[in-house]
Structure 1
Amino acid sequence: MAYDLEEQEQIATFKAFWSRFGNLITWVLIATLGSYAAYNYWNTHKRNQSVEASALYDELQAALTANDNAKAQRISADMQKKYDGTSYAQMAALGAAKTAFEANDLKAAKTQLQWVVDHGNDEYKAIAKLRLAGVLLDEKSYDGALKLLNESFPPQYSAAVADRKGDVLVAQNKLAEARQAYVAALAAMPANNPGRQLVTVKLEAIGGTAPADANATKDAKAAAAAA
C-alpha cells in the first residue's frame, strides 16, 4: 500500500517517537495495570479473610459458651496464624484469654493477652494490657503489672488504669499511693459512672475518702495527672 508524502512523514515521526519512548510507555502501562490488578486482588483477599475469620470466630464463641478452654486456645492460635490482620483475631485472643483465666490456665491467658498487646490496635491493646496487669496481679508479679500500667493508654482508659494501679499498690501494702490512685480513678470517671461506687468502697476500705466537693475534685484531678 502506497503512502503519500505527508503520511510517510507522520509514520516516520511516530516510529521515531515510539523508538524513543515506547519502552517507557509500555512499562508505565504494565505498572498501572499491575497495580490495579493487585488492588483488586488485595480487596478480594481481605474480604475472603474477613468472611473466613468470622466463621472461625463463631466457632470460638461456641467454645467459650461451652467453657472448652482447649478448643478456644486452638481456634485462637489458628486465627492468629491465618488471619492476624483482622479484628476477629484480636477479639478471639481476648475471649480465649478470658476462658483460660477462668480455667486457671494463667500461662495461656498471658500468651493470648500478650499477642493482643503486640498485634492489636490501640483499643484492643489497651484492654489486653489492663487484663494482663490483672493476671500479673494474681501471680503477685506486682512490678510487672505496674510497669505495664505505666505504659501509654488512650485517654478514655485513664480511670481503669488508675483503678488497677490502686489494686496493685494495695497488694504491695503501699496504701498511701493506692489512695492516690483510687482518687485519680474517681477524678477521671464521669459522675454517673457505675464503677464509681466500687472504687469508692475500695478507697474507703484503706482509709481514704472520696472527694465530695468542687475543691476536692480539683485535688483529685491533680492526683490523676500525677498518677
Structure 2
Amino acid sequence: MTSRTEEEQLALIKEWWQRNGMPLLTGGALALVAVFGWQGWQKYQTNQAQGASMLYQQLLETALTPSGQPDAGKVSELAGKLKSDYAGTQYAQYGSLFVAKVAVEAGKLDDAAAELRAIVDKPADATLSELARQRLARVLAAQGKAEEALKLLEGDADKAYLASREEIRGDLLVQLGRTDEAHAAYEKAKAALSDDAAVGSLQMKLDDLAKGDA
C-alpha cells in the first residue's frame, strides 16, 4: 500500500477536523458548562441557605425585646422577605411558624391559620408538615372548629410526633364531647411516651376523664 504524502495526511486531518472538530469542541464546552454550572448551582444554593439562615435568625431576634413581645412591623417585614426571596425553603416555612405564633399571641387566629395552612398545603419536608398540621389543629380548636381540626390529624404520624398528635386528638374529642374516644387517644399518646414523661398534663387529662365517668 502506497504511503500517503504529507500533503495527503494534512488534507485528511483537515477533513476529519471539519467533520468532528466542532462537535468535539461543542461537547467539550458543554461538559465544561455542566461542571462549572453544577459548581455554580451548588454555590448559589449555599449562598441561598446562608442568606435565609441569617434572615430567619433576625426574625427570631425580634422577640428579644424588654417586653418579650416581637415588633409586629419588623416581623412582617422580615417574614415577607423570607417568603419572597426564599419561597418554599425550610427557613421560609419555619419563619411562617414563628409568624403564626406571634399572630396567636396577638389573638389573630385567622392570620395564624392562614400561615399554617400554607405550610400544610405545600410543606418543605415531613417535619414541617407535621408541626404545621398540629399547630393548625390547635388554632382551629380555638376557633371552635374541632371537627375540621380532627380531619387534619387523620392517618399515620411519625413515631416522634405520635404522642403530641394523639394528645391533640384527645383534646379535640373532649371538646366534641366524645369522651370514650378521647380516653383512647390519650392512652395511645401515653403509650408513645416513656413512663416518666407520661406523668404530667397527659395523666391529669386521663384522670379528669376518669372522674367524669365516675
Alpha-carbon distance change, 132 to 182 in structure 1, aligned in 2, over 3 angstroms: same
CA distance 1:64–1:10, shift in 2 (3 Å): farther
1:74 and 2:73 matched: no
In structure 1, the partner of 2:60 is 61
| CA pair 105-65 structure 1, distance change in 2 beyond 3 A | farther
Structure 1 pair 35–173 and aligned structure 2 pair: CA distance change class (3 A):
same
Question: Which residue, out of 146, 152, 159, partners 2:163?
Answer: 159
Distance 1:54 1:119 in 2: 18
SS at match of 1:192: helix
The answer (yes or no) to whether the contact 1:166–1:178 under 8 Å persists in 2 is yes
How far did 1:134 drift? Answer: 0.5
In 1, the alpha carbon distance for the partners of 2:38 and 2:91 equals: 23
Q: Is the 8 A contact 2:89 2:124 kept in 1?
A: no
Partner of 1:45: 44
Q: Would you say 1:179 and 2:188 are equivalent positions?
A: no
Cα gap change, 1:78/1:151 in structure 2, threshold over 3 Å: closer, same or farther? farther
Asked if the contact 1:163–1:199 (Cα under 8 Å) also holds between the matched residues in 2, the reply is: yes
Q: Secondary structure at the match of 1:206?
A: helix
- Secondary structure class of the residue paired with 1:78: helix
Q: What TM-score results when the alignment is normalised by the length of structure 2?
A: 0.85
For residue 200 of structure 2, give the secondary structure of its aligned residue in structure 1: helix
Contact 1:64–1:95 (8 Å) recurs in 2: no
State the shift of 1:151 in Å.
4.3
Rounded to whole Å, the distance in 1 between the matches of 2:38 and 2:202 is 50
Query: Within 5 Å, which residues of 2 pair with 1:1-227?
Result: 5-66=4-65, 67=69, 68-117=71-120, 118-193=122-197, 195-207=198-210
Per the TM alignment, residue 170 of structure 1 is displaced from its structure 2 partner at its CA by 0.3
**2:196 aligned partner, one-letter code:** N
Shift, 1:167, TM fit = 0.5
Partner AA of 2:193 in structure 1: M
Distance 2:187 2:162 in 1: 12
- 1:143, CA displacement in angstroms? 1.7
Gaps of 5+ in 2: none
Contact persistence 1:69–1:100 (CA under 8 A): no
1:146, distance to aligned residue in structure 2 (A): 0.7
Alpha-carbon distance change, 150 to 76 in structure 1, aligned in 2, over 3 angstroms: same
| TM-score calculated relative to the size of structure 1 | 0.80
Q: Cα RMSD between the aligned structures?
A: 2.2
Moved more, 30-39 or 64-73: 64-73
Cα deviation per residue 1:42-79 (whole Å; 9 max; x = unaligned)? Answer: 12222222222223223211223332234213311220
Structure 2 distance, partners of 1:141, 1:73, is 27
